[in-house]
Structure 1
Amino acid sequence: MEIVEKIKIGLKREASDSVTEKNTAIAMKSGTLPVYATPAMTALMEQVASQLAQEYLPEGWTSVGISISVAHISASPIGMKVHAEAEITAVDGRKISYKVTAFDESGEIGKGTHERFVVDEAKFMQKAAGKK
C-alpha cells in the first residue's frame, strides 16, 4: 500500500483560535500593534494542514512543512475568534499541496499555499540527529 494512498485532492480540515495578547504582533515581535500576528496566522494554517495529513497516515509516519506562501490581508483585534482552513490541491508522491485560508468573524484575513512532505518519523529523526 502506498503511504499517501488515502490522501486525496479535495480533503479539507479546519482549526480555530482566538486573538489574545500572546499571539499579537507585539508579543511575537513581528510588529508593534496589538493585532493577530502574521506568524500566528501562518502557524494556524500549517497546524490545520498537518492535522489533515496526519488523519490519513499510518502509525510511524508524519508530514513536515517544506514551503508556505501566505498573504495576511486584514487585521484582527484582541478578542476576535479566528479559524484556518486547509484543502488538499495536489498529491505528488509523498508531497502534498494545500490551499490555506484564514478568517476572523468579519471575513477572510489571509490566504496562500502550503506544501508538506510525508516522512517516516524514525528515519527523519535519525537524519536530523546526525547533524550534531
Structure 2
Amino acid sequence: MSTASAFATAATFLWLGMVFAISFIEAPLKFRAPGITIPLGLGIGRLVFRALNAVEVVWAVVLVVCAAAGGWIGDAQGILVIIVAVLLAIQVGGVRPVLNRRSDAVLAAGDAYVEGPRSNTHLVYVAFEVVKVGVLIAIGVLLLA
C-alpha cells in the first residue's frame, strides 16, 4: 500500500467514525437527555456540527490530495472521493444554511419557543449523511482491496 493510500484509508475511516458517532449517536441521543430543551439541544447541535463539518472538510481535502498524489483520481475510489467531497460541499454550503436559519428562529424565541412542525430540511441533511456514509465505506473497502 502506498503512502497516499495509507493516509487516505486512515482519513476515510476516521471520517466515517466521526459521522457515525456524531450524526447517528450523539445527535439523536442529545434530545433524550433529562433537562435538554429543543433550543438548548439546537444550540449544542450547532456547535457540534460546525466542528464536525470543519473536520470533515479537512478529511475531504486529505482524500483529494491523496487521490491526486497516488494517481488514482480517475479510478473508482478517486471518483468516490470526488463524490463524497461534493456531497459535503452541498451539505455545508446548501443544506446547513437553511437549517441554521430555522435554528436561529428557535433560538431567538428562547423560552417562548413552541414546538412546531419538523423541518424537512433536517431529513435532507440526514439523507446526505446516509449517502456519505455509504460512499465512505465504499472508498475504504476499495482502498483496502
TM-score range (shorter-chain normalised) is under 0.3
* Structure number with larger C-alpha Rg: 2
Q: TM-score, normalised by structure 1?
A: 0.26
* Higher RCO (C-alpha under 8 Å, 6+ residues apart): 2
Quick check: which one's helix share is greater?
2
